[in-house]
Amino acid sequence: MDNSNVSQLHIKAAALDNNLAYFKRQLAPKCKTLVVVKAFGYGSSAILVANHLKSKVDYFAVAYAQEGIALRKSGIETPILVLHPQSDNLDLIIEYNLEPNLYSKKIMDAFLQKEVVNYPIHLKINTGLNRLGLSPEELPEVCLTLLKNKTKVFVQSIYSHLAASEDLNEREFTSNQINSFKSAAKLIEDSLGYAALKHMTNTSGILNYPEAHLDMVRLGIGLYGFTADEDARLELEQVWKLSSKISQIRHIPKGSSVGYNRTQFAERDLRIATIPIGHADGFFRHLGGGKGWVSIRGQKAYLFGTVCMDIILVDVTDIDCEEGGSVEIYESRETLNRFATICETINYEILTAVGQRIQRKIID
């Protein structure tokens, strides 16, 4: 069904290419690139992003099987790592040629019960994040299990996840993670008798820990132009632009309330514009009452009243605009980061909250 919503998220192909190229320049020539497109491509569009980059990267990664299936159905043939497979979805993973992360003995045993031959799997090692992953003390038993099933599966990659790669005050902890991972990977490879791809750096890890680039890196939020590194931020471009249009402009006399629960009153005669986007689309309610704003004709139009499910109201009294005029939501990375601070959250949450009824388009 065609999505005719006037609120649209434009994904800039040139910005994707620029950001990918920037991170590739940080790598040794033979180091592979895995792009993470989980959570609808960090709130953009996994399908649009992956289709644009499929000839430029070596791997994609998703969180769950359904995300990988959507990519396969869209025509993506690039290898896809499923970071958090569930036992209930293993048959689908095999059907769609997805590659599971076997992060525990339980999920490994479940997968080894399937009728597969030489199927690529991935092993995640817990080195300190203490989330998913095999503990180092489990590895001897894991290796014995894999050797018994060497005709069924082969280990495509061994990987881990840095817990604090963006925090240089945690360099000692991160270095211990890197060393622990290298020891675990060597144990597995020595036992199996062959080398696997090894990877453990995310966006911040790519920038701060070149010694951990190994065979492949995982590029996530940096692809979309966000990083804690100030120097890198100057090189990266904002990938997406969220825009809408003014539905109606209403004249509000001094003393009148606007919106639900009469939370805000006009202190002078106002012009209030209605914008068709709301908290159901990921525009956080914390931004109401003048805390947040949108950009209209290059000027800030501050929110007035509460954020509704489908609508926000903004003060355009001093802005020359009309119904049907364009509106920019989060006009810059700096604005989005500022909103994240106001909402007491992180930019990841603002990005991934953009609702799926917002139309996505990739622009060249």
Q: Catalogue the active-site residues.
A: 38, 260
Q: Which two tokens stand for residue 24?
A: 């590739």
Q: Which two tokens stand for residue 210?
A: 């070149």
How many whole angstroms separate alpha carbon 249 and alpha carbon 231?
A: 42
Phi-psi region of 51 (alpha: psi -120 to 50; beta: other; left: phi over 0): alpha
Q: Are 200 and 14 in contact (CB under 8 A)?
A: no
Sign of the alpha-carbon torsion through 273, 278, 281, 282: positive
What value, to the nearest 5°, has the Cα angle with vertex 344 and ends 340 and 349?
Answer: 50
Residues 6+ apart with CB under 8 A from 97: 72
Strand ranges in the chain using DSSP code E only, listed in sequence order: 8-12, 32-36, 59-62, 80-82, 99-100, 119-124, 153-159, 197-199, 216-219, 240-245, 248-252, 270-275, 293-296, 299-302, 312-315, 326-329, 359-363
Q: Are 99 and 76 in contact (CB under 8 A)?
A: no
How many whole angstroms separate alpha carbon 127 and alpha carbon 162?
A: 8
Give the length of the chain.
Answer: 364
